[in-house]
Homo-oligomer: A and B are copies of this chain.
Amino acid sequence: MGKQQTEMLKGVLEGMVLAILAERPAYGYEITARLRDLGFTDIVEGTVYALLVRIEQRGLVDIEKVPSEKGPPRKVYTLGPEGHDQLTEFWSTWKFLADRIDTLQPKGN
């Protein structure tokens, strides 16, 4: 979709990953695939991994290494309490933003 989407993803991608992890624990490769399924076909692997490193360092997730039969061991991320808090805040910020933007939409008037 181009540069527009890239910029719009900033700050939103983290929330999406947290939301995915809220459904159930998952590992990086899986999360990337999930995002692609969602429609973000151009999402870059490196972006997701870097993001996971960040949210790990902020203590939002717990990590467990699980051996895989098909490759290197998986790093399975589980949402911790602080991650849940962050996700809650994400939803509230998102709603705020989405509401204001709706008011700017021509159809909204």
- A residues with a Cβ closer than 8 A to B are 1, 4-12, 14-16, 19-20, 22, 38-40, 89-91, 93-94, 96-98, 100-101, 103-106
Task: Specify which chain B residues have a CB less than 8 angstroms from the CB of A93 in the assembled complex.
Answer: 1, 4-5, 8
Q: How many copies does the complex hold?
A: 2
Chain B residues closer than 8 Å to A106, beta-carbon distance: 22
Interface residue from B1, B6, B101 paired with A96 (Cβ < 8 Å)? B1
Q: Is the interface of A mostly helix, strand, loop or mixed?
A: helix
A-B contact pairs, 28 of them (CB 8 A): A1-B93, A4-B11, A4-B89, A4-B90, A5-B11, A5-B93, A5-B96, A5-B97, A7-B10, A7-B11, A8-B10, A8-B11, A8-B12, A8-B93, A9-B11, A12-B97, A15-B101, A16-B100, A16-B101, A19-B101, A19-B105, A20-B104, A22-B106, A38-B100, A38-B103, A39-B100, A94-B101, A98-B98
